Homo-oligomer: A and B are copies of this chain.
Amino acid sequence: MALGLGLIGTGFMGKAHALAYRAAGAVFGDLPDVSLEVLCDTPAERAQSMARQFGFARSTDRWHDLIGDPAVDIVSITTPNALHREMALAALAAGKHVHCEKPLALTLEQAEEMETAARAAGVRTIVGYNYIHNPAVSHARKLIADGMIGRPVHYRGWVDEDYQADPELPWTWRAKRSEAGLGTLGDLGCHLVSMAHVLMGQVSSLIADIQIIHETRPLPGASGRAPVENEDTASAIVRFESGAQGTLCTSRSAWGRKNKLDWEVHGTKGMISFSQERLNELQFYVNDGPRAEQGFRTILTGPEHAPYGMFCPAPGHQLGFGDLKTIEVAAFLRAIAGGQDVFPDFTDALGIERVIHAIDISAREGRRITL
């Protein structure tokens, strides 16, 4: 029996999910079958035309119907942030597996409620932090686990983009705390923290500061400007449970940065660094052999870096953003079939959201937050 997919949303992430669920089975030979059952969006016409384009059997403009559909086993939620909570809770209550786009929710309280519901429901959940599924990142984790850089002692992580860099960009709901929640921390913070968690383990405490760069924005179609209520940048100095330290920094107003999710892991024997804008490359330095020949190696991902080889048997041919999503979907489908947890489920995601909100609280209250 194929697993039935119900997908809510047809925007950036909706399309990414549709493409990934279509591709996963053909890329990986070992996955349970998936049938694309229901696509939901508004208005109904859009849902219908996108269902045809994406290859879904049916469409609807009522997400409750999708969740209630008996052919739907997996509910994929790719709607605006403010809707994640209600949809996820309904899907969990209906006993469906839930694939939720990031961030989990607008507030920490909502995230906690969702995590509790997920644990109670006994289904599989996953949150769409897809960058951690990059074979380059997986290989970095392996290098670290194998002791290739010694003990990891320091970490630096960044996520910078420029989608809010222009001072004259009109005011939108994104600037309003009650609708969008946090600013750059809400949009990009989950990538910042999830990457730190998979590479370094849990954050135990932190100090932080935040900044609103553009204090007002022009109201669209009107004279006057409205205030921006959430942060453009956030910076934290963190301590990890392992004893390592590091910094986590993010900006949504960093001109020229398009998807600069960068990090470096400092170890006692070497270093690994990475830039998402060159997602098929790892920089790897190890204190080994003659000093005169040491240097950072640019490792180009290839079939030695699983599961790259499932996409292409030749090295250096490059995976793309969509391929990372396909790997995420494959991991989720395997977890559903096997009945085990997958990283990051709602519990993992809650841990990540706690760090994000701790950054916000530390910045506002001027004190160290212990997690």
Contacts and interface: CB of A to CB of B under 8 A. Distances in A.
Interface of A: 11-12, 15-16, 18-19, 22-23, 25-27, 29, 49, 53-55, 139, 143, 148-150, 153-154, 156, 161, 163, 165-167, 207-209, 211, 213-214, 233, 235-237, 239, 245-247, 249, 251, 253-260, 266-271, 276-280, 282, 284-287, 290-300, 302, 304-305, 311-323, 366, 368
Contacts of A166: 287
Given A209-B237, A291-B304, A322-B311, A266 B258 contact: no
Question: Which of A239, A278, A300 lies at the interface centre, i.e. has the most chain B CB atoms within 10 A of its CB?
Answer: A300
A277 B93 CA distance: 47
Nearest to A245: B211
Contacts of A55: 25-26
A368 B365 CA distance: 12
Contacts of A315: 258-259
Contacts of A299: 292-295
A360 B254 CA distance: 29
Given A254-B271, A266-B251, A313 B12 contact: yes
A167 to B, nearest CB: 5
B237 A255 contact: no
Contact of A256 (B153, B253, B255, B295): B295
Given A29-B49, A209-B237, A312-B321, 16 more contacts: A11-B313, A19-B27, A19-B311, A29-B53, A139-B292, A143-B293, A149-B255, A154-B213, A247-B249, A253-B266, A255-B267, A257-B316, A318-B321, A320-B320, A320-B323, A322-B323
A154 B233 contact: yes
Contacts of A29: 49, 53
Question: Which of A15, A148, A320, A366 lies at the interface centre, i.e. has the most chain B CB atoms within 10 A of its CB?
Answer: A320
A29 B140 CA distance: 38
B235 A255 contact: no
Q: What secondary structure prevails in chain A residues at the interface with B?
A: mixed
A38 to B, nearest CB: 16
A223 B322 CA distance: 47
Given A53-B26, A153-B213, A320-B322, A284 B277 contact: no
Contacts of A16: 312
Nearest to A31: B53
Contacts of A148: 293
Contacts of A26: 15, 18-19, 22, 53-55
A182 to B, nearest CB: 17
A209 B211 contact: no
Contact of A254 (B15, B266, B293): B266
A285 B139 contact: no
Contacts of A235: 237, 245-247
25 contacts: A12-B313, A26-B53, A154-B211, A154-B254, A165-B268, A207-B209, A211-B245, A213-B268, A235-B246, A255-B266, A255-B269, A255-B271, A256-B295, A258-B315, A258-B316, A259-B315, A277-B300, A280-B318, A297-B298, A298-B298, A312-B322, A319-B321, A319-B322, A322-B323, A366-B368
